[in-house]
Each structure stands twice: as structure tokens, then as C-alpha cells.
Amino acid sequence: MVEDKRCVLAYTSMYIEPDGKIRPCCVSSDFEEELNFNDYKTIPELYNSPQMRGLRKSMEDGTPSKVCDICYKGNNGLMPYWNERWKHKLNDPNLSDSKYNVKSLDYLDARFSNICNFKCRMCGPGLSSQWDEDHIAVEGQSGADYLANRVMIHSDPVGKFTAKDLQTIEHMNVGGGEPFITADFWKLIDSFTDEQKSEITMYVNTNGSVVKYKGESIMEKLSKFKEVVIGVSCDGFGAIGEYQRTGMNQKRFDKNFTHMLEYAFGKDNLIISMEYTITSMNLFHIQDFIFHVKDKWPALGYGIHFHWATTPYYFAPVLAPNKLKQQFISYIEGVLINPREDGVLTDFIHEGEEYQKQHEYSSPIDESLNAFLNHLNSADVEAIRNMQINKNAMPVRKFMKIIDERRGEDWKVVVPHMEAIINADLTLI
Ligand code: SF4
């Protein structure tokens, strides 16, 4: 029997970028023949476009398109997670027809705008409007040309969704830019009736910089949904957090995050989680961060999820020079053993029997750090190099110098271990 290589998201989901590019999900690469939000008039034409149908066919033929290399060659955890959660959809014989068409959009994954009040170092002008001037400083005329000529999405992306399109949505994954300051995000939220909201689950990612929109409480607005996981990005505390996420203000973040936790307390449908993106800059900060969060917000405890950058190449831990990469691996192996020995004890049932599991920290931390270690040890490095967006990236030393000067920072003070990457001056791509 041929191994089932399907991913349920290729059949149910559509990811929309601020520039209008469409991909099956937020971790996939662009289609070889790009698909754009403005290529078709309707949403069904988009999710049944030749590109989406071709991807489904490639999976059913047992050779998934390279659009999905991040999962099939890079050990990303998104596919196994959704294949398990939506096993019933995957097993449905009517999942698609003989031409690989599907009947509905069940999962809307969208970044309708790049409007942001931060300019994180591993980000860029595509996902942050704050990056434009720094981008020109780094890229020169080609950067200015890119910004002058780039096409942004449809002026009213939410308006393209009919009531029928919205009706089938079961889950949304929304990011930005910063969605909480973006009118299109709130237009989407307000497009659903309260009854629909009570049927929809959502993951929304925020940088934690605001808790009100036009005077209204954001937490109150979100509390109408069946379940909302609010992933609050924070890549470190103090100097390292503010260095990686330019625009973050630790004091304001602490105040807002405390408010979110207090509002969500006792409400089963509001879940707050901390999201930490591991880069080669903040990797050695992980252990301190875990304990900092646990001590500052005991109500959250070990509620941190770790993710990791695969672009740009100089911030991708898996592409670090070998000696530093080995240090990263040893460090993570050490972190995986909790020196405080105060991990969470959870109950679970396996084949009708009740068991207890003692976590080193918690399920989110243990699982995401183990997945990261697996990524460091076994990801297809060549495939990740080939995923780099900017094939003409300037030497990292020059990039760091320009950005540091513009932001009044100094990598030698905040992230001195980056020297190994900067000195290697790798032209990996
Ligand atoms: S296989 Fe991975 S990249 Fe492809 S659609 Fe599924 S989750 Fe996205």
C-alpha cells in the first residue's frame, strides 16, 4: 500500500500574505507559479485553483510538491498536528473530488496587512510596515525599487469573503503585522455573527503592545469566540528581548500581558500562551527565559511554546557554523533537563488505562524543545538553504552594522556569541 502523504491543510486551508500571495498554510513556500489573492474573483476559485489542486495531486501521487518541503524535509510539526486534529476530515472519502477540488474553506490562515508597530530583526518589510526605511538602508536602490513597486493585497480583502464563504470556517489563524492595530482584522472579527463566533476556534498572534482597539477591550471582543488562543510573542526579557524585537518595551509588555492573563483567568475559552521564536541571537537565553516567565507569571507557569527561525540564514540556528551549532545542540540538551525538578504532572488515558506523566517543565515546553532539537539534528540543511528568500543577501557583518547603527544598538554587547556567524561571513545561499 502506498504511504499516505496527504496533509489535511492542503485540502482545507488557505494562507494569505499581506502582499496577496496565497499558499496552503503559513509555513509552506510559495507555489512555483505564484498564486495571488487578486488572480480570481471568488474565494472558492482560489482554494480550487490549479496550484492548490496540483499540490493535492502531488500528495496523492506520493511525491508532495516542494511547496511543502518545510514539513516533509524540515520536520515542521504543523502537518502532524492538524492531521491528528482533523483526522475525520482526512478520512472522509468526499474530502476532494476526482479533479482534487474541495467543497469549502474550513481553515482561514491570514495576514491581511503588514501594519505593525515593531520591526523585529528576523522580520522584514513584507510583514512589518516599520521595516521600510531600514530595508532601503540595507538594500539600497533595489530595496527602494522593491518598496515602490510592490503590490499589496486588495484594498478590502475581507470584503471578498461572502457570507457563504465565512459560514464554513471552523478555525482561523490570524497574524500580521500586528492584527490588534489593524482595521482589516477587526472587520473580519465583526463580520461574524455572535452565533458563528460561538462555533469558531481561533489562534491569533500578537506582540502584546495593545489591549484596546478604538477604545474597546480586545479581550472582551475575543471572548465571544468558541475558543481563542492568544499567542503573545516574546523572544526574551530585558536587553535581548528588546534587541530581537525592536519596538518592544518591557514595561508596557509586562503590564499588558498581566492584564491578558487576569482577564482570561477562569474563562475556559480564552487561552494565553507565550510564543518564543528561537534564533541564533536568543538561543542561549532560553533557560533564563523559562524561569523568568514562571516566576513572574505563576498563573502561566510553564506555558511557553518555542518556534524557530529558518530564515534569514544568519538567524537560523540550523544553518549556524558547525562548532556553534554543536554548542546550540548541547545547550538545548541541557535545558531539556529541568534543574528545578518542578515540572507539571499530567493525567492521560492510553487504551482505557489511566496514567500520569511527569514533565520536565510542561507539555508545550518539552514537546517544542524536543522538536527543535530534532530539527537541529536532522533537518535537511540543503533544503533549508534553498528556502532562503533573499538569494543576494549582503554579508551578515554589514547587515548587522547598518541595522545596529540605525537602531542605536550593538550586537557585541547584547549577542556577542553572534561573532561566530558574523566572522564566518557565510555565503550559505
Ligand atoms: S504539508 Fe506542511 S507546508 Fe504543506 S500544507 Fe501541510 S502544514 Fe503546510
Distance 9 CA to ligand 1 centre (A): 6
Q: 3-state DSSP call for residue 48?
A: coil
Pick the residue whose CA is nearest to atom 4 on ligand 1.
68
Enumerate residues 6+ apart whose C-beta is below 8 A from 339: none
3-state DSSP assignment of residue 413: helix
pLDDT digits (tens, 9 = 90+) for 16-34: 999 999 999 999 999 999 9
- Ligand 1 pocket test, pick from 9, 15, 65, 310 with the greatest ligand atom count within 8 Å of Cβ, gives 9
Instruction: Give me 126's grid cell.
Output: 513584507
What is the percentage of the chain residues whose pLDDT exceeds 90?
Answer: 85
Amino acid found at 155: S
Q: Whose CA is nearest to atom 8 of ligand 1?
A: 25
In this predicted structure, what is the pLDDT of residue 391?
A: 57
> Distance between CA 42 and CA 252 in Å, rounded?
41
CB 291 within 8 A of CB 340: yes
HSE-up of 84 (CA within 13 Å, CB side)? 4
* Per-residue pLDDT reduced to its tens digit, 33-58: 999 999 999 999 999 999 999 999 99
Q: What is the pLDDT of residues 120-175, one digit of tens each?
A: 999 999 899 999 999 999 999 999 999 999 888 868 999 999 999 999 999 999 98
SS3 396: helix
- By the 8 A CB rule, do 91 and 102 touch? no
Q: What share of the chain is helix, strand, coil (3-state, %, to 5)?
A: 45, 15, 40
| Nearest alpha-carbon partner for 285 in 121, 123, 415, 373 | 415
The 10 Å CB-count burial string (b at 16+, else e) for 280-313 is: bbbbbbbeebbeebbeebeebbbbbbbbbbbbbb
Question: Which of ligand 1's atoms lies nearest the C-alpha of 26?
Answer: 8
What is the SS3 assignment for 164?
helix
Judge contact between 46 and 79, C-beta under 8 A: no
**Pocket of ligand 1 from Cβ distances under 6 Å:** 7, 9-10, 24-25, 27-28, 68, 70-71, 76, 78-79
CA of 259 from ligand 1 middle (Å) equals: 34
